[in-house]
Structure 1
Amino acid sequence: MDLDPLILSRIQFAFVISFHILFPSFTVGLACWIVVLEGLWLRTGRTLYRSLSEFWTKIFAISFGMGVVSGIVMTYQFGTNWSRWSDIVGNVLGPLIQYEVVTAFFLEAAFLGILLFGRDRVPRSVHFMAACLVAFGTVLSSFWILSANSWMHTPAGAELRDGRFFVTDWWAVVFNPSFPYRLTHMLTAMFLTTGFVVAGVSAFYLLTRRFTEHARVGLRMALGMITVLAPLQIVLGDLHGLNTLEHQPAKIAAMEGHWEGGARAPMILFALPDEEAEMNRWEVGIPGLASIILTHSPDGEVPGLKQFPRDERPPVAIVFWTFRLMVAIGLVMLAVAVIHVILRLRGRLYTAEWFHRLLVACVPTGFIAILAGWFTTEIGRQPWVVYGLVRTADAVTPSLTTTAVLISLTAFVVVYAIIYGAGTYYLLRLLRIGPAVTDDATAPMARQEAHRPKRPLSLPDQSIDPAE
């Protein structure tokens, strides 16, 4: 592989977006989790919910800040490394990204201040409203970003004239053919990521015999959400796969590792794809299962990589394995959901330490699955930056040199290692410190005592003879 400006720019963008995507993937679900806690605190008055909300709001604020920084750096590359892409798609994607900033980012930034600093300065209902608007802003931000990204996979509502796209139908642009599937699949992945972090941290507290009541609430609520969303995500993934089969068959062929294609295609569990020889080595598969999954028919036709020219095939090995990693983690999540139901029915949810250790080990699974899915999606789109219309090689800045990109990539790696290493360390430290412990039974009395007028301190009455 030659380290030309194109491949280095792709590596640099992949590096930056891999860092960036981790934080929104966590904060979208976390913001909604905080809304639930704030709602429970508003309705019940239990200080346990307030304590949990305050604790997770600190985690949210740091994660949100790191996500903003990495996002700003990422967008600068549109002009420095991908100026041709910006020129070609600017009429379409420029407004979509601007909509995200104006409608979502400003909303999050405005009400985040009230969420962080207004708890005892504004009425509870106003504070709850701020939490709701911050959460809504994170979801709305995902809406616009995923719409823009989906358009590059399934372009619609625009036509290419004289080297630039011009919009003909904004509704078709925003709600392009793959967007609904990507949005639901990604949002569900975000909620699962947050759910496994909350469940894992709660399980850690139970194992260490700390913050027991907080941990029980967090564990119960997080696992309840995981039990609903894990099987739902498998269904959404299947629907997304069928949509990809319709619009990006070469990507599906790479994901499945099929070279010949055809009817009764096997589901390949393990293989070492050899792109030069156009075959798989050490292949292990289940006959006919790929046709059943992809077409819902045992005789369904599945695309093969040989049906596409060599220069229009994505890198097979990476797409093949990242897809399997994502699916494997999805099955682990489903297994956790099933175990949770069994333990809850048996009344052992809070005492099964082996399960708590499993949950601690599963904390990073959501992040890994999102990265694996993102690599599958974006690398599987290659060699196109706008699928079927604009090649990635035609989108890079013409004046870039290998030395310039190599220097900037090295600088990104060093700076990100320092900044995000420190940020991650601080997050882990906050998680280890844990939430503030407040007794729900004594809290109302404490609040009454805090607002009760203080009498002046007086000494006991003593008879003192001045002569003495």
Structure 2
Amino acid sequence: MRGRLSSTAMPILDALHLARLQFAFTVSFHIVFPAISIGMAAFLAVLEGLWLKTGKDYYKDMFLFWSKIFAVGFGMGVVSGVVMSYEFGTNWGGFSTFAGPITGVLLTYEVLTAFFLEAGFLGVMLFGWDKVGRRAHFFATVMVAVGTLISTFWILASNSFMQTPQGYSIVDGKLYPQDWLKIIFNPSFPYRLAHMTIAAFIVAGFLVAATGAYHLLKGRRDEPVKRSFSMALWMLLLLTPLQIVVGDAHGLNTRQYQPAKIAAIEGLWETEHGGTALNLVGLPDMQAEQTKYAIQIPHLGSLILTHSWDGEIKGLKEFPAQDRPYSPIVFWTFRIMAGLGMLMLLLVLLGVLLRKGGKLYEARWFQRFVVLMGPSGIIALLAGWITTEVGRQPWTVYGVFRTSQSASPLDAQQVGVSLLIFVVVYFLVFGTGVYYMLKLMGKGPTHVDHHAAHPHPALENRAMFRPQDAIDG
């Protein structure tokens, strides 16, 4: 995802910035659906494993319900991902020419290892209940989940190389690989892979928890609803604190390898010796080179970013003006992400207290809180990616190749028209898909008597996509 604005001031919408805006728009739509698929695929594998282990049919009911959400999200993720591949050729020809020998190979690995694995087993997982044995079906479900994680691996390897490149050489104006292990396992890759994977699980966890809370508020107390709610909260209790720890480690890594990004995130202009204050809020001004109306906490910046009382953090003035990220965006997107993270932590801790008091399924105020927090994982995910990508500016490959060198020779009218078309089509197509997912969640999981006789054995499988699941149903 490319940054939206220049490093110094609000730019005019020339072809370059329109191309950046277009890619930011399309990838923001795209990233939500793989995140849902990654987290939901793992959840489905757990549900089917529990069903096989315990024989309790409500786990299968939950699987059948949540597999619908997964299927819609997976389909929209594939379609929206194809669009970005075309954008690399149409809008970012300079980048494709320069970095293609590395990034093109990494994305090819993703297709060959992950996409084919997912595609090969997806049909069995969704429609193979009465066609293969239980173990074979469970194996297919696990393979789909593994495929989503492999896809995450390669996508993050490619993007992390653009953040912290190593293991390459430049010959005749192109990047060429020298050491693939260094390219893949570049300095930021382990932290960003863990951070993104956990974020995807959190996205799915909050969607499941919010759906369960919604139906609890409507008075349902059947096992599929209660189990969805409870399992999601247990998962979030584990992952939310872990994400905070991983995010802290990622911040330390970013300070080491992308110090200008950290300075922009913190709205820090001067290098403060003897301890750096944290700007809780404020308005970074790129022209005035200061953060106006800042509310500061002395030494807290050092404690968070260096784990010491008097740690030193470089200010933006240490970097040439043309190399500075656009602080007003990343300053606030980071705080949105971090603020939601704190609300998530509060929610899961409240859930523990209510669970101990035996009031988890009866505390309506808490259930309303969970419903309200349902989209928080998605919002935090988008805020985090904006922080990462805008913070990399003005570089496409950090410190090596500038975004201004990456664009194709197009005029503003060409890019602007295609952007307008994307906006209209995306809201129509993917807006309809999201609406359908919300309709499905509004119906909620149903408990089916799996021991009752069916007129035809395939009817059980048809429960995955029943006529009443139509959008107007």
- Give TM class, smaller chain: over 0.9
Contact 2:124–2:137 at 8 Å: present in 1 too?
yes
Which residue is 1:42 aligned to?
52
2:385 equivalent among 362, 374, 379: 374
Which residue is 1:437 aligned to?
447
Q: 1:365: how far off?
A: 0.2
Q: 1:449: how far off?
A: 11
Letter in 1 for 2:63: S
Runs of 5+ unmatched residues, structure 1: 452-468
1:205 equivalent in alignment to 2:215: yes
What are the Cα deviations for residues 161-205 of structure 1, in whole angstroms up to 9, with x where unaligned? 221011110000110110000000111111111111100000111
Which residue is 1:57 aligned to?
67
More divergent stretch after superposition (37-46 vs 170-179) = 37-46
Which residue is 2:287 aligned to?
276
* CA distance, structure 2, for counterparts of residue 428 and residue 126 of structure 1: 31
What are the Cα deviations for residues 67-125 of structure 1, in whole angstroms up to 9, with x where unaligned? 10000001110000001100100111111000000100111111000011101111111
Q: 1:435: how far off?
A: 2.1
Q: 1:220: how far off?
A: 1.1
Which residue is 2:361 aligned to?
350
Q: 1:262: how far off?
A: 2.3
Which residue is 2:460 aligned to?
none
Secondary structure at the aligned position of 2:212 is classed as helix
Runs of 5+ unmatched residues, structure 2: 1-10, 458-473
1:17 equivalent among 27, 31, 36: 27
What are the Cα deviations for residues 257-284 of structure 1, in whole angstroms up to 9, with x where unaligned? 1000223111111101111111111110
Aligned counterparts, 1:60-459, within 5 A:
60-210=70-220, 212-263=222-273, 264-398=275-409, 400-439=410-449, 443-444=450-451, 446-447=452-453
Contact 1:216–1:350 at 8 Å: present in 2 too?
yes
Q: 1:447: how far off?
A: 4.8
* CA distance, structure 1, for counterparts of residue 84 and residue 177 of structure 2: 25
Q: Which runs of 4+ in 1 moved over 6 A?
A: 448-451
* CA distance, structure 2, for counterparts of residue 60 and residue 242 of structure 1: 34
Secondary structure at the aligned position of 2:284 is classed as strand
Greater Rg over alpha carbons, structure? 1
Q: 1:390: how far off?
A: 0.4
* CA distance, structure 1, for counterparts of residue 72 and residue 264 of structure 2: 38
Which residue is 1:456 aligned to?
none
Letter in 2 for 1:353: R
More divergent stretch after superposition (144-153 vs 35-44) = 35-44
Contact 1:211–1:437 at 8 Å: present in 2 too?
no
Secondary structure at the aligned position of 1:302 is classed as coil
Q: 1:293: how far off?
A: 1.1
Secondary structure at the aligned position of 1:254 is classed as helix
* CA distance, structure 1, for counterparts of residue 256 and residue 455 of structure 2: 67
1:6 equivalent among 11, 16, 19: 16
Contact 1:385–1:391 at 8 Å: present in 2 too?
yes
Q: Which has the higher contact order (CA 8 A, sep 6+)?
A: 2
Contact 1:255–1:319 at 8 Å: present in 2 too?
yes
Letter in 2 for 1:322: T
More divergent stretch after superposition (235-244 vs 34-43) = 34-43
Letter in 2 for 1:273: P
Secondary structure at the aligned position of 1:270 is classed as strand
Secondary structure at the aligned position of 2:336 is classed as helix
Secondary structure at the aligned position of 1:128 is classed as helix
Secondary structure at the aligned position of 1:58 is classed as helix
Calculate the TM-score normalised by the size of structure 2.
Answer: 0.93
Letter in 2 for 1:13: F
* CA distance, structure 1, for counterparts of residue 309 and residue 444 of structure 2: 53
Contact 2:225–2:445 at 8 Å: present in 1 too?
no
* CA distance, structure 2, for counterparts of residue 234 and residue 125 of structure 1: 36
Contact 2:225–2:444 at 8 Å: present in 1 too?
no
Secondary structure at the aligned position of 1:209 is classed as coil
Calculate the TM-score normalised by the size of structure 1.
Answer: 0.94
* CA distance, structure 1, for counterparts of residue 186 and residue 102 of structure 2: 12
* CA distance, structure 2, for counterparts of residue 160 and residue 315 of structure 1: 28
Secondary structure at the aligned position of 1:380 is classed as helix
Contact 2:167–2:177 at 8 Å: present in 1 too?
yes
Give the count of matched residue pairs.
446
Identity of aligned residues (%): 52
Q: 1:210: how far off?
A: 3.0
Cα distance 1:283–1:436, how it changes in 2: closer, same or farther (>3 A)? same
